[in-house]
Amino acid sequence: MAGLPDMDQLAINTIRMLAVDAVQKAKSGHPGTPMDAAPTAYTLWQRVLRYDPAEPSWINRDRFVLSSGHASMLLYSLIHLAAVKADNPRYEQMGRDAVTLDDIKTFRQAGSRCPGHPEYGWTSGVETTTGPLGQGVATSVGMAVARQWLSTTYNRPGFDVFDFNVFVLCGDGDMMEGISSEAASLAGHLKLSNLCWIYDSNRITIEGKTDITFTEDVAARFLAYGWAILRVTDPNDISLVEQAYRDFLRTNDRPTLIVVHSHIGYGAPHRQDTAEAHGEPLGDDEVKLTKQFFGFDPTQFFVVPNGVREHFAANIGARGAKLRSEWEAMYARYRTEHPDLADQIDRISKREMPDGWETALPVFPPDAKGMATRESSGKVLNAIAQRIPWLIGGAADLSPSTKTHMGFPEAGDFQPCSYNGRNMHYGVREHAMCAMVNGMTLTGLRAFGSGFLIFTDYARGSIRLASLMDLPVLHIWTHDSISVGEDGPTHEPVEQILSLRAIPGMVVIRPADANEMSEAYRYVMHLQHRPVALICSRQALPTVDRTKFAPAAGLAKGAYVLTDAPNGKPDVILIGTGSEVSLCLEARDKLVAEGVGVRVVSMPSWELFEEQDAAYHDSVLPPSVKARVTVEEGAKLGWHRYAGDRGVILGMHTFGLSAPIKVVAEHFGFTVDAVVAAARQTMSASAQ
């Protein structure tokens, strides 16, 4: 440490002591990693990061992701000391500090801007929600992809509108999680030279030394992925740390991993290099000794020594303000010379759509044979993508099946030689794909991912975080039921639709035909703060004749009456979603021929229906009509809400079967006869 300017040392130790005090007061949290990683993160923020604390949503800011979310106090201390200002979800400045000293004093308490793990949208300066290990690193790859796409698409000679870098601080846990391998592999392939992972290698996780679990050569692994590897042998020598960042900035052909050999709990005499420094407060005695070690007064708490805030203002503050004002001046000239491009960038930064994009939405003619909803999804996607230039995505190696390939000439593939391509090839990496979609969305793109619905289970960690972050991501999940047929139970979703519905905030939409699909995209593309799971069939579904049945626009209300009994007083209501709506329509024909008054309700989205008022609910599902049949080739759980106590639920409670689709449908009772029988059953039950 000798030879460092005092102010740097004091500032680093201030970060450490704020973390120690906050964790001690909260009686929970992780003090050890903020203590060991403080110099690494400090050096990045103070000497490298192109970030204006006064404008945390500046679109060309360097991103800093704390993938070790349990070390949240490190990030909160930095946000506080750098005086990051708060903004809101509409990117408006709030005038207050993002994290006050009081927030730090109330770390982990309700209402504090310092919750247990960093939460995007709650604390300005937090670039993405982290805590589930591996998510931050994988999300950062999406951010780096988005930056490459943005710069290749919008930069012009003399106008480097986008040239930011993405930095991530991560730990042993991130490196162990499978998602980091998926993401790093793709980042290496894509040669994302704007991406820097700083691996705080303290060789401690919760159960103890990594000797018991994790003895691989991480650097060799990343070398094999095609990354540049740098090492910092002593993070307390911040000139070494700074040198590593400078080397990263000079690397222009691959991502960089900086392996930092650190000591968890650095400075806590009895906790350093032990797992105890990790998951619990140091305790009063150890706090005292630690403060003495760093030259802080043990009787004082939450101290920010004189000059520390000013030191941050003079470094990251001054540098960031200068960089941003230069950028603003450049961007003003860009706006004059390239008004159309600037208009796009403005919309990107506010999550707005181009004017009139909806006119591209196709209308499909009635067709008894019809097409699979994955097919209609592909057609709609291709039509609107030509009007929404920053709609970008792809599949986890399944685009021929998910129909998500954008085939128009200028779409192209996103590859190292073509960073303006719009077709992402995520490879067989569902989890990293979903995290990357989060990262791309956080960076302004209208990003999507796709795959087989069954494999959402592989990606749930990231799907869930999209919802927790209120991100408008789009997932297109196809092969949505046992009607997958021959591939059998390993590929036939049963509980997946339901489990996506269980994620708070997630909108699950399962369109019944091509026109509902078009309406689904109309709804989805306007969302700014909610993720969508679009559920698509593998098999063809009839395109409903809308001259005979209600318009597909009813989709926006989640459920609507597709066709009704002549007097509006049905004897029975058949409620279907997706592929089962046409089954309900066929059953209706049979019942009507028998003189039964039938209403068919198409219910593509529980969530959207729940958002309607009681009057609308009652108009679609009149409480007086107890005879109801719900039909969905998925788990029955939850359908009682709409079936009521006299209704019959046709659904799944076992795994599927490998057999041709017709055999599967008969085996599990998804036939016209089964629906008709269920209708009779519920009519008789409700008559009693």
What is the C-alpha to C-alpha distance for residues 437 and 311, in angstroms, rounded to an integer? 37
Q: Provide, rounded to whole angstroms, the least separation between the CB of residue 574 and Mg ion.
A: 56
Binding segment for ligand TPP (CB under 6 A), chosen from 165-173, 319-327, 354-362, 464-472, is 165-173
Q: Tell me which residues touch Mg ion (CB under 5 A).
A: 171-172, 202, 204
Task: Mark residues 174-193: x for contact with ligand TPP by CB under 6 A, - for none.
Answer: x--x----------------
Which positions from 96 through 135 interact with ligand TPP, judged by CB under 6 A?
131-133
278 binds, among ligand TPP, Mg ion, none (CB under 5 to 8 A by kind): ligand TPP
CB-wise, 68 or 577, nearer to ligand TPP? 68
Structure tokens at 36: 């060991």
For 282, other C-beta atoms within 10 Å of its C-beta total 23
What is the C-alpha to C-alpha distance for residues 374 and 671, in angstroms, rounded to an integer? 22
CB-wise, 67 or 450, nearer to ligand TPP? 67
133 binds, among Mg ion, ligand TPP, none (CB under 5 to 8 A by kind): ligand TPP
- Gyration radius of the chain over CA positions: 28
> How many residues appear in the chain?
688
What is the C-alpha to C-alpha distance for residues 472 and 627, in angstroms, rounded to an integer? 38
522 binds, among Mg ion, ligand TPP, none (CB under 5 to 8 A by kind): none
**E strand or H helix that includes residue 77:** helix 72-81
Contacts of 2 by beta carbon, 8 Å cutoff, 6+ apart: none
CB-wise, 218 or 238, nearer to ligand TPP? 218
Task: Mark residues 247-286: x for contact with ligand TPP by CB under 6 A, - for none.
Answer: -----------------x-------------x--------
CB-wise, 112 or 205, nearer to ligand TPP? 205
Q: Provide, rounded to whole angstroms, the least separation between the CB of residue 173 and ligand TPP.
A: 3
Q: Provide, rounded to whole angstroms, the least separation between the CB of residue 270 and ligand TPP.
A: 17
Q: Provide, rounded to whole angstroms, the least separation between the CB of residue 123 and ligand TPP.
A: 18
171 binds ligand TPP (CB under 6 A): yes
Please state the separation of Cα 619 from the chain's center in Å.
Answer: 35
Binding segment for ligand TPP (CB under 6 A), chosen from 204-212, 238-246, 418-426, 610-618, is 204-212
Residue 96's region, left for phi above 0, alpha for psi from -120 to 50, else beta, is beta
What are the counts of helices (DSSP H) followed by strands (DSSP E) for the chain? 26, 22
CA distances from 658 to 141, 486, 580 (A): 37, 5, 20
205 binds ligand TPP (CB under 6 A): yes
What is the C-alpha to C-alpha distance for residues 619 and 569, in angstroms, rounded to an integer? 11
CB-wise, 208 or 354, nearer to ligand TPP? 208
Residue 470's region, left for phi above 0, alpha for psi from -120 to 50, else beta, is left
Q: Catalytic pick from 119, 127, 430, 492?
A: 430
Beta pairing class for 532-535 and 474-478:
parallel
Contacts of 71 by beta carbon, 8 Å cutoff, 6+ apart: 19, 30, 33, 34, 37, 169, 171
Amino acid at 195: L
576 binds ligand TPP (CB under 6 A): no
CA distances from 491 to 471, 494, 552 (A): 28, 9, 30
Q: Is 495 a catalytic residue?
A: no
Contact call for residues 67 and 174 (beta carbons, < 8 A): yes
CB-wise, 176 or 659, nearer to ligand TPP? 176
Contacts of 468 by beta carbon, 8 Å cutoff, 6+ apart: 119, 129, 504, 505
CB-wise, 33 or 481, nearer to ligand TPP? 33
Q: Provide, rounded to whole angstroms, the least separation between the CB of residue 264 and Mg ion.
A: 6
CB-wise, 215 or 359, nearer to Mg ion? 215
Contact call for residues 642 and 605 (beta carbons, < 8 A): no
480 binds ligand TPP (CB under 6 A): no
Q: Provide, rounded to whole angstroms, the least separation between the CB of residue 224 and ligand TPP.
A: 21
Listing DSSP states for 157-187 in one string gives TTB------EEEEEEHHHHHSHHHHHHHHHH
Which positions from 24 through 53 interact with ligand TPP, judged by CB under 6 A?
30, 32-33
70 binds, among Mg ion, ligand TPP, none (CB under 5 to 8 A by kind): ligand TPP
Amino acid at 100: T
Task: Mark residues 53-92: x for contact with ligand TPP by CB under 6 A, - for none.
Answer: ---------------x-xx---------------------
The candidate with the shortest Cα–Cα distance to 304, out of 555, 100, 68, is 100
What is the C-alpha to C-alpha distance for residues 394 and 422, in angstroms, rounded to an integer? 8
User: How many residues lie near ligand TPP (CB under 6 A)?
Assistant: 20
- Shortest Cβ contact with Mg ion: which residue? 172
CB-wise, 29 or 656, nearer to Mg ion? 29
182 binds, among ligand TPP, Mg ion, none (CB under 5 to 8 A by kind): none
Structure tokens at 396: 């986890």
3-state secondary structure of 562: strand
According to DSSP, the residues that pair with 259 across neighbouring strands are: 199, 231
Q: Provide, rounded to whole angstroms, the least separation between the CB of residue 173 and Mg ion.
A: 7
602 binds, among ligand TPP, Mg ion, none (CB under 5 to 8 A by kind): none
State which of residues 1, 206, 318, 663 lies at the interface with ligand TPP (CB under 6 A): 206
Q: Which residues are catalytic?
A: 430
Binding site for ligand TPP (CB under 6 A): 30, 32-33, 68, 70-71, 131-133, 171-174, 177, 202, 204-206, 264, 278
